[in-house]
């Protein structure tokens, strides 16, 4: 069956996601493993999948603005957020 995925502590998971432990505690949609009533752990593979599902994908609308689409989960809920950057603020290769 192979080696089980190692579990991360709250501190390690917060460092992995680059958020505070408080944010980790408040965001209940972040996948976790409940070890007991007051103890949770996290699998890095689950955290990575969750983070990828939250990526914003840029959509070029015209020459004047770059529009970011909200994550699929937010769009499904109807509160899609959009951020528009002026044309001069984007970096070109």
The 10s digit of each residue's pLDDT in 44-65 is 999 999 998 888 776 666 655 6
Q: Is 29 a residue whose pLDDT tops 60?
A: yes
**Domains in the chain: boundaries:** 7-53, 58-87
The average pLDDT across 20-25 equals 94
> What's the pLDDT at 55?
84
> What's the pLDDT at 40?
94
> What's the pLDDT at 27?
92
Distance of CA 72 to CAs 41, 52, 77, 85, Å? 26, 11, 9, 21
> What's the pLDDT at 61?
62
Give burial (CB, 10 Å; 0-12/13-18/19+) of 88.
Answer: exposed
Cα Rg of the chain (Å, integer): 18
The average pLDDT across 2-18 equals 89
């Amino acid at each position: 069956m192979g080696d089980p995925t190692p579990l991360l502590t709250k501190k390690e998971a917060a460092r992995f996601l680059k958020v505070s432990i408080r944010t980790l505690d408040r965001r209940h949609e972040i996948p976790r493993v409940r070890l007991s009533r007051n103890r949770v752990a996290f699998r890095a593979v689950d955290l990575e999948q969750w983070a990828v599902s939250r990526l914003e994908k840029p959509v070029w609308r015209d020459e004047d603005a770059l529009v970011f689409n909200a994550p699929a989960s937010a769009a499904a809920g109807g509160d899609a957020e959009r951020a528009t950057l002026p044309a001069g603020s984007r970096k070109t290769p």
